[in-house]
Structure 1
Amino acid sequence: MGADNRAAFETFVDLFYTQKRVADAFAFLVSDDYIQHNPTIGDGPAPAIEMLTPKFDGSPEATFDIQRILVDGDLAMVHVKASRPGAADAAVADIYRFEDGRIVEHWDVLQQVPVHAVHDHPMF
């Protein structure tokens, strides 16, 4: 994944997680052949936009703090601290695969941040 694709991914991350402009982020970088591995969302951009817009655009009080962005070849990952009032924070790792400069595949891993941990190092 070249520098241009890294820059494009950083723009996607900003649009999607920081600005919470789900449809704009998908229009910017996601392929029509998008494969979704989250078992609650169908393949293609439209089901993801429909499912995620209320969680992002529709939740002004929710925040998605970018902790790190990793890029390796055709894979990119963003590690996010997701927070919303009335719910425990979550650690999220979203992994994307690129093909021909577009996002074509997505996996995610989510973990609730526990109230008490057995150690004193944070998850972020």
Structure 2
Amino acid sequence: MTANRAAFERFVELFYTQKRVREAFNYLVAEQYIQHNPTIEDGPEPAIAALTPKFDDAPENRFDVQRILVDGDLAMVHVRASGPGRPDAAVVDLYRFEDGRIAEHWDVLQPVPDRAVHDHPMF
């Protein structure tokens, strides 16, 4: 599924790096998009509405992509999210493809602590 990888890399570039939420969603997200984040309803429009203030409308926020994995119909991106007035966060977004489009999304967020009990970096 190299097509999924190429499409996902473009989506990641548009969404996380360029912070162009609507363009990224129009490019690759299915109309029947299933959202597992409990604060956002299903469908692309609720996600666009929830994410635009954090991405497009917040130039001070950064989303540094650490790694991308694609395996068949599943794709994952590991991101370091940062912005003023809050600790950085490690974010993992997991997506499922169906018919060449992103059909489903899960996410996990973990604040980056000031100190760790070991010397293994989170990123």
Per the normalisation by structure 2, the TM-score is 0.99
Partner of 2:116: 117
Question: In the alignment, does 2:109 pair up with 1:101?
Answer: no
Task: Give the partner amino acid of 1:29.
Answer: L
Task: Give the partner amino acid of 1:88.
Answer: P
Task: After TM superposition, give the deviation of residue 21 of structure 1 in Å.
Answer: 0.2
Aligned counterparts of 2:86 and 2:104: Cα–Cα separation in 1:
28
Aligned counterparts of 1:7 and 1:81: Cα–Cα separation in 2:
22
The answer for unaligned runs of 5 or more in structure 2 is none
Task: Give the partner amino acid of 1:19.
Answer: Q
The equivalences for 1:52-63 within 5 A come to 52-63=51-62
Task: After TM superposition, give the deviation of residue 73 of structure 1 in Å.
Answer: 1.2
What SS is found at the alignment partner of 1:55? coil
What SS is found at the alignment partner of 1:12? helix
Aligned counterparts of 1:24 and 1:106: Cα–Cα separation in 2:
17
Task: Give the partner amino acid of 2:13.
Answer: D
What SS is found at the alignment partner of 2:92? strand
Partner of 2:6: 7
Per the normalisation by structure 1, the TM-score is 0.98
Aligned counterparts of 1:103 and 1:8: Cα–Cα separation in 2:
10
Deviation string, structure 1 residues 12-38 (Cα, Å, up to 9, x no partner): 000000000000000000000000000
Aligned counterparts of 1:47 and 1:65: Cα–Cα separation in 2:
24
Aligned counterparts of 1:92 and 1:54: Cα–Cα separation in 2:
17
What SS is found at the alignment partner of 2:53? helix
What SS is found at the alignment partner of 1:79? strand
Task: After TM superposition, give the deviation of residue 57 of structure 1 in Å.
Answer: 0.4
The equivalences for 1:23-34 within 5 A come to 23-34=22-33
Task: After TM superposition, give the deviation of residue 86 of structure 1 in Å.
Answer: 1.1
